[in-house]
Amino acid sequence: MLNASTAFQTMTAEEAAEFIHHGDVIGASGFTPSGYPKVIPGALAARATRWHEDGKPFRVSLYTGASTGDELDGVLARAHALSRRLPYQSNPDVRAGINAGEIEFTDMHLSHVAQMVRWGFLPKPTVALVEAVDVTADGRIYLSASGGASASYLQTADRILIELNSFYGRGLKGYHDVYIPEDMPHRQTIPLLHSGDRIGTDYVQVDPSKIKAIVETNLADRSGGFREPDQESKTIAAHILAFLKQERKLGRLHSEQPYQSGVGNVANAVLGSMAADPAQEPVSIYTEVMQDSVIELLLHDKLVVASGAAMTLSPACQLQWKANMDAWRNKFVIRQMEISNSPGIARRLGIIAMNTALELDIFGNVNSTHVMGTKMMNGIGGSGDFTRNAFLPIFMTPSTAKGGAISSIVPMVTHVDHTEHDTMIFVTEQGLADVRGMGPERRAREIIEKCAHPDFRPLLLDYLEAGLRSGSRHTPVTLSRAFEFHNRFLETGSMQY
């Protein structure tokens, strides 16, 4: 069957999957469960399983924007068809494969990925597997709900497989802004001065002869949506909003500076609280993932414009977006993650960055990735791109986990993703620590007093004081005790003493 707007033959997912071979490197669309291919991976997983049953190897590398839906990550992991994965994931089966040593995972700053692919620093994608809303005969590919690194995968790979999804359909055209920086030594300034600036095209241009398959679908992104924020999240959000108000009052923050917020309920609660606050001025968003709360801001007339690498909406919000495609087009820009996460742009715009810490230590180092220093959770994602270059980098986390057995504030984090040099503001439900300009000892006292749970404050202070007695008084670390919280947890199931 010929696709209406193109000269390309459409085919089944099973037929398309035949274009993918053992050893291929797939560069796929998808950034969070948004805009990822939904049917070819399932067919590929079945193909891999048949090969495995015949005693033959069949494994591929998978590069994406970030995490994706189960129809891509989950099916391939369960078919044991993944040899390698980058740069981020959050699927339970992929995570299990990584921690079992079956899947090699490269945990990367998202802003690095596309350029490292183009420069040949990573094995070259052989297949681009991308969801789109339209494809033209001359090779213009209009991406669906996420930007990710799709443009660079499409330009680098030799074979292009497209899932043409009519769920949003062509109404989505015009939302994307595709810009790829020039290669060295000819790279120019990226001419983006405001969150909403459009600096590229709304499609990816490819050589049409590389398009090997088009599979038609009509499927929503499988996004669970977000829970109603709990009391803890609301308290954290309230601390952050009070702090930002104070900064405004002190003349240290301008209302036009954009917000970046990580994925999750606390981040959603902050933007949700802004939407609900009648005194809140309209805000700009320059982020990775545009979630439901961005729609909430829009509906409360509190959104100037939002820019990100993906629209990741709950089923209800997906329908709302679909119904308002034309009206909302000037309110959203979907970018390639090289631009949404660009360090230079984050610094230029003066973003307020809000990200979640897995654990943080009293000196302000943050672990975003490794449970007990060894088990991969999801990956660093864009938190590093934003944190180091933000005007105000904020890390948030509940002060305890597992019913109080785990303290999120520890003597030393078991893995460092954000160093003491990168961080400024920490928030738990206990309060907010502003450590800007402080040396390590003062920072430790501020974090313990403002952020740690009262159950753990004496233990943290005891560690600090012991370090001050025995080590250097600059950063009073005691190596033999640095992981005492974690080792106690591993032995007894609790960090409590």
Minimum CB separation from a second copy for residue 123, in Å? 7
Specify the residue for token string 């100037």: 304
Question: 250: Cβ–Cβ under 8 A, 6 or more apart, which residues?
Answer: none
The reply on whether position 122 binds a second copy by CB under 8 A is yes
- List binders of a second copy among 422-481 (CB under 8 A): 422, 424, 436-439, 441-442, 467-468, 471-480
Contact of 305 with 329, CB cutoff 8 Å: no
Smaller CB separation from a second copy, 22 or 194:
194
Q: How is residue 62 written in tokens?
A: 């998978």
Q: Give the whole-angstrom CA distance, residue 74 versus residue 77.
A: 5
The reply on whether position 188 binds a second copy by CB under 8 A is yes
The reply on whether position 105 binds a second copy by CB under 8 A is yes
Q: Tell me which of 17, 94, 190, 394 binds a second copy, using CB under 8 A.
A: 190
Contact of 425 with 393, CB cutoff 8 Å: yes
The reply on whether position 256 binds a second copy by CB under 8 A is yes
Q: Tell me which of 169, 208, 225, 343 binds a second copy, using CB under 8 A.
A: 343
The reply on whether position 124 binds a second copy by CB under 8 A is no
The reply on whether position 92 binds a second copy by CB under 8 A is no
Contact of 280 with 274, CB cutoff 8 Å: yes
The reply on whether position 297 binds a second copy by CB under 8 A is no
Please give the backbone phi and psi of residue 59, each rounded to the nearest 5 degrees, phi first.
-140, 145
Minimum CB separation from a second copy for residue 421, in Å? 5
Query: Which range touches a second copy (CB under 8 A), out of 211-219, 221-229, 343-351, 402-410?
Result: 343-351
The reply on whether position 250 binds a second copy by CB under 8 A is yes
| Active-site residue (options: 71, 131, 288, 484) | 288
Q: Tell me which of 45, 72, 86, 339 binds a second copy, using CB under 8 A.
A: 86
- Spell out the alpha helix ranges (H) of 102-225: 110-118, 150-156
Of the candidates 108, 117, 128, 124, the one whose C-alpha atom is nearest the C-alpha of residue 183 is: 117
3-state secondary structure of 443: helix
Specify the residue for token string 């004081």: 465
Q: How is residue 410 written in tokens?
A: 């520890």
Q: Give the whole-angstrom CA distance, residue 195 versus residue 260.
A: 11
* C-beta atoms surrounding 490 within 10 Å: 11
Query: Which range touches a second copy (CB under 8 A), out of 36-44, 171-179, 226-234, 342-350?
Result: 342-350
Q: Tell me which of 99, 136, 217, 324 binds a second copy, using CB under 8 A.
A: 99
C-alpha 415 chain-centroid distance: 19
The reply on whether position 349 binds a second copy by CB under 8 A is yes
Contact of 276 with 298, CB cutoff 8 Å: no
Minimum CB separation from a second copy for residue 247, in Å? 10
3-state secondary structure of 394: strand
- List binders of a second copy among 366-425 (CB under 8 A): 370, 372-376, 380, 384, 388-389, 391, 414-422, 424
Of the candidates 24, 248, 253, the one whose C-alpha atom is nearest the C-alpha of residue 123 is: 24
Q: Tell me which of 342, 355, 387, 400 binds a second copy, using CB under 8 A.
A: 342
CA contacts within 13 A on the Cβ side of 127: 24
Q: Tell me which of 4, 7, 57, 104 binds a second copy, using CB under 8 A.
A: 104
Of the candidates 216, 165, 150, 197, the one whose C-alpha atom is nearest the C-alpha of residue 322 is: 165
Cα–Cα distances in Å, from 294 out to 36, 182, 335, 338, 370?
21, 31, 16, 21, 29
The reply on whether position 497 binds a second copy by CB under 8 A is no
Minimum CB separation from a second copy for residue 178, in Å? 19
The reply on whether position 249 binds a second copy by CB under 8 A is no
Smaller CB separation from a second copy, 144 or 367:
367
Smaller CB separation from a second copy, 296 or 361:
361
The reply on whether position 299 binds a second copy by CB under 8 A is no
Query: Which range touches a second copy (CB under 8 A), out of 92-100, 140-148, 296-304, 447-455?
Result: 92-100
Minimum CB separation from a second copy for residue 434, in Å? 10
- Strands (DSSP E) contained in 236-341 are 259-261, 283-286, 289-290, 303-308, 310-311, 332-335
Assess whether 296 carries a catalytic annotation: no
Query: Which range touches a second copy (CB under 8 A), out of 130-138, 270-278, 317-325, 344-352?
Result: 344-352
Minimum CB separation from a second copy for residue 37, in Å? 23
Q: Give the whole-angstrom CA distance, residue 354 versus residue 386.
A: 9
Active site residues: 288
